[in-house]
Amino acid sequence: NAGVTQTPKFRILKIGQSMTLQCTQDMNHNYMYWYRQDPGMGLKLIYYSVGAGITDKGEVPNGYNVSRSTTEDFPLRLELAAPSQTSVYFCASSYNLPGYNNEQFFGPGTRLTVL
Amino acid sequence: EDQVTQSPEALRLQEGESSSLNCSYTVSGLRGLFWYRQDPGKGPEFLFTLYSAGEEKEKERLKATLTKKESFLHITAPKPEDSATYLCAVPNQAGTALIFGKGTTLSVSS
What is the tens place of the pLDDT at every residue in B48-72? 999 999 999 999 999 999 998 999 9
% of chain A beyond a pLDDT of 90: 86
For residue B8, give how far its alpha carbon lies from the nearest alpha carbon of chain A (Å).
12
pLDDT at A100: 64
- Burial degree of A115 (CB within 10 A; 0-12, 13-18, 19+): exposed
Chain A CA closest to residue B40: A108
Cβ of residue B14 closer than 8 Å to a chain A Cβ: no
Q: Dump pLDDT digits (tens) for A3-16.
A: 999 999 999 999 99
How do residues B23-33 score in pLDDT, each as one tens digit?
999 887 778 99
- For residues B17 and B80, give the distance between their C-alpha atoms in angstroms, rounded to a whole number: 11
SS (H, E, C) chain A: CCCEEEECCEEEECCCCCEEEEEEECCCCCEEEEEEECCCCCEEEEEEEEECCEEEECCCCCCEEECCCCCCECCEEECCCCHHHCEEEEEEEECCCCCCCCCCEECCCEEEEEC
For residue A39, the model assigns a pLDDT of 86
Give yes or no for B101 touching A (CB within 8 A): yes
End-to-end CA gap in chain A: 36
B59 close contact with A: CB closer than 8 A = no
Share of chain B above pLDDT 90, in %: 80
Inter-CA distances, B54 with A62, A66, B35, B48, B70, Å: 40, 40, 16, 14, 11
Res. B1: pLDDT tops 70: no
- Cα B30 from chain centre: 16
Please state the rounded mean pLDDT for residues A49-58: 94
A74-110 residue pLDDT tens: 999 998 999 999 999 999 999 988 776 678 999 999 9
Per-residue pLDDT, B76: 97
A103 contacts in chain B (CB < 8 Å): 34, 46, 49
